[in-house]
């Protein structure tokens, strides 16, 4: 069983590019340290959510003694809630003798000094998320006050969905082709337009 676990996370299903960049950076680290057969865990959900399937599987793997090293792109991938939640998670892992490595911070979080630095980084991640969330709310409120209609901007992929479906292509294949979920494809077919928030204003 692998002793090295990798955890990667992006906030939404539409951020596959970010997920891929995290994986590339971590793979370079693994290659540089001659680590093979690492076990990968991933989530496509906000770091503020308590229930994350990938993270829950990682917790079980640690509890079962299946991994002794956890590698992440950044500590912010573990949680965006703040120092308390982040340190609680980190402390539980460290108590089990798990080594935690964060690529972006270029730090190996182990021992009291590692916990102190981690506390600062978790706190900064929460401040960043809160500010981004507040900026999003202010921007949406200002747009609404100007009479701007909020909604998803039409994308090229949505224009092709119906024709592909009419040609007999399965929904699952259409979703795979455009990097979307089957539900997103069904929504387009039904004419549902989810609320649009600019990508640079989404809370992580």
User: ∠ CA 67-68-69 to the nearest 5 degrees?
Assistant: 100
Q: Which of 182, 161, 160, 184 is nearest to 172 (CA)?
A: 182
Catalytic annotation, residues:
11
| Phi, psi of 33, rounded to the nearest 5 degrees | -105, 15
| Tokens, residue 52 | 């994350």
Per-residue tokens: 110 = 């182990």
Helix 171-178 to helix 182-190 angle, to the nearest 10 degrees?
110
Dihedral sign, Cα of residue 111, residue 53, residue 6, residue 65:
positive
How many Å apart are CA 162 and CA 174, to the nearest integer? Answer: 10
* Two structure tokens written together for 143: 């747009």
* Distance in angstroms (rounded) separating the CA atoms of residues 111 and 103: 18
How is residue 97 written in tokens?
A: 């003798």
Pairing of strands 99-102, 107-109: antiparallel
């Amino acid at each position: 069983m692998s002793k090295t676990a990798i955890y990667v996370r992006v906030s939404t299903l539409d951020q596959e590019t970010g997920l891929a960049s995290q994986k590339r950076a971590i793979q370079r680290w693994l290659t540089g340290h001659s680590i093979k057969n690492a076990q990968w865990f991933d989530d496509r959900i906000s770091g503020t959510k308590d229930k994350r399937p990938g993270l829950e599987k990682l917790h079980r793997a640690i509890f079962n003694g299946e991994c002794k090293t956890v590698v992440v792109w950044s500590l912010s991938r573990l949680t965006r809630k703040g120092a308390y939640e982040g340190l609680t998670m980190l402390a539980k892992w460290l108590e089990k003798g798990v080594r935690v490595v964060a690529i972006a911070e270029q730090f190996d979080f182990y021992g009291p000094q590692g916990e102190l630095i981690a506390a600062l980084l978790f706190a900064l991640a929460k401040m960043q998320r809160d500010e981004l969330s507040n900026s999003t709310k202010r921007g949406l409120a200002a747009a609404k006050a100007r009479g701007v209609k909020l909604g998803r901007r039409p994308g090229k992929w949505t224009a092709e969905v119906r024709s592909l479906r009419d040609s007999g292509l399965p929904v699952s294949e259409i979703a795979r082709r455009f990097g979307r979920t089957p539900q997103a494809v069904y929504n387009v077919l039904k004419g549902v337009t989810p609320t649009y928030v600019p990508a640079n204003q989404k809370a992580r």
